[in-house]
Structures are given as structure tokens and as C-alpha cells.
Amino acid sequence: MNKAYNPVWARNEALQAAAHRWNRRGLLPLPQLQAIREAYPLGYYRPNIYLRILLFLLTVLGYVAAAGIIAVSAYELFDAVVPWEEQAKIGVVALLAAFAGQFVLYGTIKSSRTYRAGSDQALLYFSLGFAGTALYCFVLALFPLSIDLFALASPYLALWLVPVLALLLWATARFGDALVAALAYVVALLLLANALLQFGAGRLLLPFAIMALAAGLYRLVCYLAARSDYWYYRTCFMALEVLALATFYLGGNYLIVREGNAAIGGLLVSAPIPFAPVFYLLTALIPLFYLYYGLRRYRRVWVLTGLATLAFSGYTLRFYHSVLPPALASALLGAALIGLMAAALRYLRTPRHGLTTAPDNEAGERPGLNLEALIVAQTAHAPQAPEPGLQFGGGQSGGGGAQGQY
Amino acid sequence: MRTAPFIAELRNRGLLTPEQAVAIETDEQTRPFSLHYEVRTLLYLGITLLSGGLGVLIYEHLDELGHGVVVAVVALLMAACFAYAARHRQPFSWGLVAGSSLLADYLLLLGCLLFLVLEGYLQAQYTLFGTRYGLALALPAGLFFYLAYRFDHRGVLSMAITALAAWVGLSVEPLAVFKNEFLTGSVSRAAITLGALLLLVGWLSETRRRKAHFAYTYLLLGGNLLLGAATAAMFTEVLQPLPLLVLLILAVSAGLFWYGRRAHSHVFLLLGAAYGYVAFTYGLVRLLSATGLDIVLALGLYYFIGSTVAAVWFLTHLKRLAGTDAHEQGL
């Protein structure tokens, strides 16, 4: 699959970030860092976060307005020329808008070398949105019976979901965008649920099928991450890893299973579910396993997901059983947390088991305050002022307030 | 680790010496996994939950609990927190005190929060301060200022400044809270004065090297207080004359902008630009409508197009304006 962006950009970005980290840890002198920066330049355009948001909004506005103006005239033209059905006409117009968006996106990346700069993301997301709308319209036009398409149990839903999944997978492979990858996974989940709900016993199997799909996705991510173009898809892998862990947990969570079961069955009040002890056990144990594994194997994603899922397990418990009055529970939980963290701080005062509570690097805590680096940069490298086209090439995003002194 | 190919490649290209490559590789493999931010976040969460839970608990059971027990428990907890912080204190210095214990920092914060809980309880139950509400606010302000400076704690400093602002607001207009009338002329004047004072203190602490790292807190809170109060007063017209107010906002915004450039801080640049833009636009509209001419609407369109362009220019040049551009290039 040929990639939309230059894969060298992602790799150089990661390499420069690693070199910065070594510099902050005192392993790499500044002149050498400067030499590495010049040997591996960041050849793309990505402004600070405020401008990215602005670019995103302006591009969306321009894209939708242009698509709307052209759509109205195109629609009237179709009306006069071909006696198509309503949905088919809307579908063709949406498809044209999607192609136009992709075409402009391609041109933008070629000419302005934008790389997740807001404008290219806006074009990507909205052109995919238009394409999805077009597919929906075509399904409606081809199968008039599929009017209740959006019901999860509808047998026609797959007609729309399968092409959408293919589209999203293509876009993920081409653009390496985390949001698109996450959406593709969500569509795959919907497809699975839709397929299982066609059978009577499917609803019973659904939680386990979702857990199996999440585990499969995790295996897939591990397998793909060994490829040489890892850096191009790094954000996708991270997003998918979090999603896989989260859905694996949620698939076995008692609250989700019980309330989801009631929602699918159309019940107003949820009833106790079969295999309840299994789900209680999973709700309790999965977060602990995430935490344990994350701490043993030094995986931050696992630790953070473990904490979040642990909190949700607590919420699940309180949802069905009022254990303590909220104020008392809050105070006790707070005290327990403080006690636990105090113990952790004491235990890890000298690093044990490869864990520490000290910050990774002192300067990293206060970015923008490395005055020595600033002085050196302004004096030693003043003659080699970067050419205007490169001024946005800073490897770090603007960081907003984080740049300030505090 | 994933950086191993990078190290090998850099060594082969001669950008790293073999010794450095070995040192970096060893560091990548043996560096302990840092749980710093996780621990900090959980500690903060614990403190919020504990002080919040205790506060609600006391409020809900005001009549049932034995008063002595409540006072004793909260006071004991507070004393324990302060004692722990005091035991781990570093010698006082006007500079940034390095190496203070993480737990002591957070327990100091918890102690301050518990102090507020305790004070609120005593006032509600025993009306300790009677109707001298000012004292009830001045006391924590004074205590927190002392603690912030003694223990070099910026979080407590923010609490002290907040308590001070509440005290000032209460002193100038004691009945405003009960009349549901927060934005009066005297409150605005007091807020502007206090904001200016905080800005001055912040500036002095930076230039005189008296806790120079506190300047950020002082300037941010003071600047927001002054500019927010002045802008609100400008719109509601509780303060006259208007031109003076607009000029004041513009001057302070310009000052913050200048400071932002000086300190390489994006926050102050954005703050100054945003408040300055609002005041300038409002002043211009009032000025033009005062002339009674009909051109205001036509000009308005061009003005907003022009200011959009200016905003884009400002954001594209933010890094260069703040001087972090050269910083990142060189770092």
C-alpha cells in the first residue's frame, strides 16, 4: 500500500524525539543533537495546536460550503437529465464530494507537505464521511426493503458496514490516522454484533465474541508492530492497543453486559443475566491483571487502562449495590489512595523491580525552561538561521501553557 | 527497545561515538520505568476525594455527630499533615527549593484543604468568628501565604491568592453576596487594584529574585483578575470613564504580551492578545458609534476579516514571538 505521507517524516520525527530525550538525560551533548537534527530534518508542515484547530475548522467550513454549493447545482442537473431515485442522486453527489475531497487532500500533501496539520485531517475525515454517506444511499437505493438499516439487529446493516469497513481499512493503511483506525475497529465490532444477533443464541455469545475479537486485535497489533514501517502507524497502534484492552474489559464487564442485554432486548429495567458470577469475576480481575502486567512488563498503556478500568469496576459495583454513603465512600477511598501512594513512594524510594517514582528527566518536567540550551541555541547557531520554510518544523507540538514557566 | 535501530544507524553515520552509543543503549535498557505522573495524579485524586468527602460528611451530619469528635478528628488529620510536611521541610531559600518530598508537598496541600473544612465547620457550628466574615477569610489567606513561602509550594500560593481575593471582595462590599449583586463599581475597583498589586508582586519577585518561580502564579492570577474585572466592568458600564478603562486594559495586555515574549511563555502572549483584542474592538465600536456615522456596519465587516487575518498571523508566528522557535530549533 503506497502511503499518502512520506514515511521518512514519521521516522525522523521519532528519531529526533529520541535524540532530545537522550540530550535531556545528559547522554548527548547539544552540538551533537544539533548535528542529528540537521541530518534528519523534519520535512513536513505542522503548526502549533491552536493553528491546527483553526486550520481544521476553516477547512471543514470551506469543504462543506463548496460541496454544498456544487451539490445543489449537480442535483438539479441530475433531476433534469436522468430519472434516478432520490437516494441514488444524493449518493452520487456525496461520492463526487468524497472524490473531490480526496483529490484536494492529495494535492495539499504534495504541495504544502502537511502532515497532521489540521487541514489534511479535516479533508480526510470529511471525505470519508461523504463516502460513507454515499455508500449508505446506494444501499438504500439498491435494497428498498432495508429501510430500518440502523437497527443493530437488522439483517441489512452488514450491506453497509462491510464496504465502510473496507473503506476505513484502506484509509488507515494509506494515511496511518489513529481516529480512522479506531473507527474501523468500531465498525468491525458492530459487524460482529450484527452477525451474532441474527441467531437466537447469539446474544448469549456476544460478550465472549467481543472479548475474542479484542484479543485477536491485540495479537494483530503486536504482529504488525514488528514491521519496519512501525513509526508511520505508531499512533494507530497505540489507539488500537487502548481500544483492544478497553473492549476486552467492557465485553466482560457486568454493567455493560447486563444493561446492553436489556437494551438489545428492549427492556426498560435490566434483569439479572445468565453467567452472572463469570462476569462479576471478570469485572474484578481484568483491571488487576492489566495493572499487574503493565507494571511487570513496563507498559504504560496497560497501567493507565488498568487504572481506568478499575475505576469503572468500582462504578459497576456502586451501580447495583449502595455499599456506603457517597461522602463516606469518597473520604475512605481518598484516604486509602493517599495511604497506598505514600507506601508506594516509600517502597520505591530506591528503584525496585525496574520501577521508580522519580520523574523520567528533570528538565522534562518543565519544558521550555532549559535555559542553557536556549542560550547555546541563540549564540552558537545564530548564523545558521533556518530558512523560512522550516520554521514550523519543531518536533514538539506547541504545547500551549506547558511552555510557560511554572 | 524500538530505539535500537536508531542508535545503530547514528553510530554508523558517525553522529554518535561508539562509547556514546553503548552508554545510550545501556540507559535505554536499564532505565527504570517512571511512575511519577501516575503517582502524582492518584495522590491528587486521593486528596480531593478525602477533603471533599470529609467536607460533605460534616455538612450532612452537622447535628448527629459529636462535635468534639469531628473537630478532633479533622484537627488531628490536619496536624498530622502539617507535621509530616514540617518534618520533611527543606531549609528556607528565596530560590527554587529542589528535592522536596513529593508526599510532603501533597500532604501540605491536604492540610490546607482540611484547614478550610475545619474552619467552615467551626464557623457553622459555633459561629467562631461571629459576623466578622472578613477574619474568616483573612486567616487562611495569611496562613497559606506563610506556608507557600516557607515550603515553596505554588499550589498553596494559588489558594492563598484566592482567599485574599475573597477577603478583599468581602471587605469592600460586605452585603453584595446577599444582594446577589457581584459586579458593582467598588468590587470592580477593588478587583482591579488587587490584580495590579498581584502583578506588581509577581514582577518584583521575578526581578528581585525573591521566589522568582512564583512570578508565574502571581502574574497569571493577577492578570486574569485585573483584565477580567476590567473587561466585565467595561461591558456592564459599572465603572466610568470608559476611555480610561479601555486604555488600562490595553496597557496591561501590552504589558503581559511583553512579559510573555520576555519569559518565552505562550500563555501570557495569548492572554494579552485576547483581552487586548476584545477591549480594542469594543472601544473602536463605541468610538465610531459615538460619531453617529453610518459607516460602522460596512467597516465592521472589513475589520473582522482583517482581524481574522491578524489572528492567523499571530498564531503562525506564536513560536517566533515567544522565542520558543529558536529554542526548539536549537534544543
Instruction: Report the SS3 class of residue B305.
Output: helix
pLDDT in tens, A83-101: 677 778 888 888 988 999 9
A393 pLDDT exceeds 70? no
Query: B264-298: per-residue pLDDT in tens?
Result: 888 888 899 999 999 998 888 888 777 766 666 67
pLDDT of B300 > 80? The answer is no
Per-residue model confidence (pLDDT) at position A254:
87
Of the pLDDT bands very low, low, confident and very high (cuts 50, 70, 90), residue A145 is low
Task: In whole angstroms, give the CA distance from residue A406 to residue B34.
Answer: 21
Query: Which pLDDT score is estimated for A171?
Result: 92
Render pLDDT for A224-280 as a digit per residue (tens, 0 to 9). 888 888 888 989 999 999 999 999 999 888 888 888 888 877 777 777 777 788 888
* Rounded Cα–Cα distance for residues A180 and A315 (Å): 30
Looking at residue A39, its pLDDT comes to 83
Work out the pLDDT band at A49, boundaries 50, 70, 90: confident
Non-local CB neighbours of A1 within 8 Å, separated by 6+ positions: A170, A173, A174
> Which of A141-155, B18-32, B80-94 is the least confident region?
A141-155
3-state secondary structure A128-185: HHHHHHHHHHHHHHHCCCHHHCCCCCCCCHHHHHHHHHHHHHHHHHHHCCHHHHHHHH
Q: How far apart are CA B221 and CA B214, in angstroms?
A: 11
Percentage of chain B lying above the pLDDT 90 cut: 6
Q: A257 burial class (0-12, 13-18, 19+ CB within 10 angstroms)?
A: buried
Q: Which amino acid, residue A288?
A: L
- Report the C-alpha gap between B186 and B170 in whole angstroms: 11
**Per-residue pLDDT for B4 more than 70?**
yes
Query: Which member of B106, B215, B320 has the closest CB to residue A391?
Result: B320
pLDDT of residue A27: 80
Q: Which ranges in chain B belong to alpha helices (H)?
A: 4-12, 18-30, 36-60, 67-87, 102-126, 133-151, 154-172, 185-207, 215-236, 242-263, 266-290, 296-316, 318-322, 324-330
State how far the Cα of A370 lies from the Cα of A19, in Å rounded to an integer: 15
Give B133 or B33, the one with higher predicted confidence: B33
pLDDT score, position B275 = 92
From chain A, pick out residues whose CB is under 8 angstroms from the CB of B1: none
Residue extents of the structural domains in chain B: 47-151, 173-331
The grid coordinates of residue B194 equal 488587587
* CA distance, residue A170 to nearest chain B CA (Å): 26
Would you state the cell numbers that stand for residue B69, as one nine-digit string? Answer: 469528635
pLDDT surpassing 80 at residue B233: yes
At residue B133 the predicted structure's pLDDT band, cuts being 50, 70 and 90, is confident
Give the list of residues 6+ apart from residue A162 with CB closer than 8 angstroms, or none: A191
CA dihedral (A347, A353, A359, A361) positive or negative:
positive
Look at B53 and A329 and tell me if their CB atoms are within 8 Å: yes
What string of DSSP letters covers A323-392? -S-HHHHHHHHHHHHHHHHHHHHHHTSS-BTTEE-S-S-TGGGSTT--HHHHHHHHHHTSTTPPPGGGTT
pTM listed for this prediction = 0.77
The Cα B127–Cα B217 span in angstroms is: 33
Does residue A344 sit at the B interface (CB-CB below 8 Å)?
yes
Amino acid at A337: L
Chain A positions in Cβ-Cβ contact with residue B53 (cut-off 8 Å) = 326-334
pLDDT at A246: 93
Residues 295-324 of A with CB under 8 A from B: 295, 298, 300, 303-304, 307
Query: How many angstroms separate the CA atoms of B114 and B96, rounded?
Result: 26
Instruction: Report yes or no: A360 at the B interface, CB cutoff 8 Å.
Output: yes
Choice among A86-95, A306-315, B307-316 with the minimum mean pLDDT: B307-316
Size of interface A-B (CB pairs under 8 A): 218
- Overall residue count recorded for chain B in this entry: 331
Nearest CA in chain B to A24: B331
- Asked if B265 lies within 8 A of A404 by C-beta distance, the reply is yes
R_g of chain B computed on alpha carbons: 26
Among the partner-chain residues A28, A300, A337, the one whose CB lies closest to the CB of B45 is A337
Is pLDDT above 90 for A187?
yes
Please tell me the distance from the alpha carbon of residue A384 to that of residue A222, in angstroms, as a whole number: 42
Note the ipTM here.
0.73
DSSP string computed for B106-146 = HHHHHHHHHHHHHHHHHHHHH-TTTT-HHHHHHHHHHHHHH
Asked whether the bond before B241 is cis by omega within 30 degrees of 0, the reply is yes
Q: Give the H or E element holding residue B33.
A: strand B33-34
Segment among A3-7, A388-392, B48-52, B246-250 with least mean pLDDT: A388-392
Q: B178 in helix, strand or coil?
A: coil
Q: What is the pLDDT of residue B63?
A: 66
